[in-house]
Amino acid sequence: MSTVNIQREAKLQNCYNQLVETIYRIEFPADHQLPQVRSLAMTCGWNIDNSISDSIALKAKAINAKPMGPVLPNTVASNATPDDRGPQVGFNSQEFEPSPLDELSKLELTQEEKQIDNNPVAQQQYQYIQQAVANKSLGFSFQVHPMIQQFINYYRGRGQKTMETGLYRSGMFMRMARRIFKEEGIPENVAWLGQVESAWKPVAMSHMAASGLWQFIPGTGDRYGLKRNAYVDERNSLDEATRASARYLKFLFNRYGNWELAMAGYNCGEGNVDKAIRRAGVANFWQAYPYLPKETRDYVPNILAVILVANNPSEYGFGHVRPAAPMQYDRIRVPASTNLNIVAQAADVNVQYIRFLNPHFRSNVTPPEPYIVNIPAGKANEVVALFRRIPASKISNTNLASSAAGETWQNISNRTSVSVADLMAANPGMAAPKGKVFVPVAGNNIQATSYSRPTNVPKAPTVSNVRIVKAKAGDTVAKIAARENLNAGEVAKFNGLLPNSVLGAGREIKVPTK
């Protein structure tokens, strides 16, 4: 909303982008990506004491050690209860939830969960696994192993709530995921990997700075075209991140020739899998198993267990879970730097819902280029028609108002405090209000914010004599006024400042003589 064109000056643009990134790293700290305040100061040309810069990074690291509470309500099946809500943080209301991968890395199966032979139910289910793989009913093949049944035992016991939550939330995203995976030539059931990665939370973040439904780390996200800048983190997007995940899995499958190793590579990277294969002497997950990281050894059978349960929930005691309704939305392209408030007004929803459909936005403004935005289903034609009526140059300083049948421009003027002339100028060719009408912000008593010194400062009081006073370190306008026995408000107004404005040492302040 500022009048400053940041893109026009390279130094200012670099400073601004790095500033936003630093704020992001302070509010969402990760050990591998601490805020680089020294680098920021050098980019922006600021003189900041290095000890202060280093202390910020250390504080962010300390915050990272504390668990972050969930943000979105964990609405689950009938007999499941939501997690307790913890402290919430967020940059421009973008809030993160802990990734289930962090808990998975600590999971140890109990002796009871590992027991199959002396458990008639587990034996029957293990036979079902063998039959499902032999029939290729899941759309892809994998090698049957007792550990898969052991993770099913876990989900039927102490992991029941986790499975119920995942099956419920999967309803929002699996239709979209299946479609994209199919388009990319990936078995649709492999998309259940998302349940283990994030429990279907679009803003999940792990301690390794992996983020989104598909838990991309920054490097892999960049590799598959997911943008990260001051405006968006597409690792948290819905369609884009899902397509990137499918393409990465396809690359891994082509590399290793089987889905177990492809899933392993997704978790720990190709380097670790290549090393394990070299040590095992064969490209087989279960033979490479001892040489893989602990988390990856659990990760693959865990996903296979989830796939089996999800495809036959009644067999495993989850027939009572009803998945959530699919997230439905239209996708439209909006002009550069569009404020999400006008998108929300055009779609008859609040901006929080637009942010819910677009979890990758870091703020309420789209990037400075035409960009695709998810909007409520069925609203595409209406919203696009509205955007076509308004010049792109005016999108950032326009609001919308809904008019009722029979209303006049004067009625709308009365409730928006915008003149009839301004309203008619903003809606050319509309003799009377009809549907949604444009309301110019400039005529709505809302001033654009400028971060340069304002030229329209209040006029100084008329005085015959003026004296210059130099501020001391730590001075404010109010302190100088007190020393001079003057009214702080008058001195502030005289200098175009606020009474609590902090002044640098040596700054000249005008004060009227008595």
Segment 203-242, tens digit of pLDDT:
898 877 889 999 999 889 999 999 998 899 999 999 999 9
| Coil/strand/helix, residue 458 | coil
Residues 6+ apart with CB under 8 A from 426: 394, 398, 437, 438, 439, 440
pLDDT in the model for residue 514: 63
pLDDT at 105 over 80: no
Residues 6+ apart with CB under 8 A from 100: 162, 196, 197, 198, 199, 204
pLDDT at 380 over 90: yes
Question: Bigger pLDDT: 18 or 349?
Answer: 349
Whole-angstrom distance, CA of residue 504 vs CA of residue 301: 63
**Chain-wide mean pLDDT for the chain?**
82
Whole-angstrom distance, CA of residue 120 vs CA of residue 153: 12
pLDDT at 496 over 80: no
pLDDT in the model for residue 86: 33
Residue 437 forms beta bridges with which residues? 401
Segment 138-192, tens digit of pLDDT:
899 999 999 999 999 999 999 999 999 999 999 999 999 999 999 999 999 999 9
DSSP codes of every residue in 62-76: HHHTSPPPP-S----
Residues 6+ apart with CB under 8 A from 99: 197, 198, 201, 204, 205, 206, 207, 210, 215
DSSP state of 176: H
Per DSSP bridges, beta strands 466-470 and 436-440 are unpaired
Question: Bigger pLDDT: 106 or 380?
Answer: 380
pLDDT at 502 over 70: yes
Whole-angstrom distance, CA of residue 328 vs CA of residue 333: 17
Quick check: 511 and 476 in contact, CB under 8 A? Answer: no
Q: Looking at residues 25-53, what average pLDDT do you find?
A: 76
- Residue 22 pLDDT class (50, 70, 90 cuts): confident
- Residue 452 pLDDT class (50, 70, 90 cuts): very low
pLDDT in the model for residue 64: 52
Q: What torsion do the CA atoms of 37, 42, 46, 49 make, to the nearest 10 degrees? A: 50
Q: Looking at residues 360-369, what average pLDDT do you find?
A: 91
Instruction: List the Cα angle 163/313/78 in 5-degree steps.
Output: 60
Segment 118-150, tens digit of pLDDT:
888 888 888 888 888 887 888 999 999 999 999
pLDDT at 75 over 90: no
Q: Looking at residues 445-472, what average pLDDT do you find?
A: 50
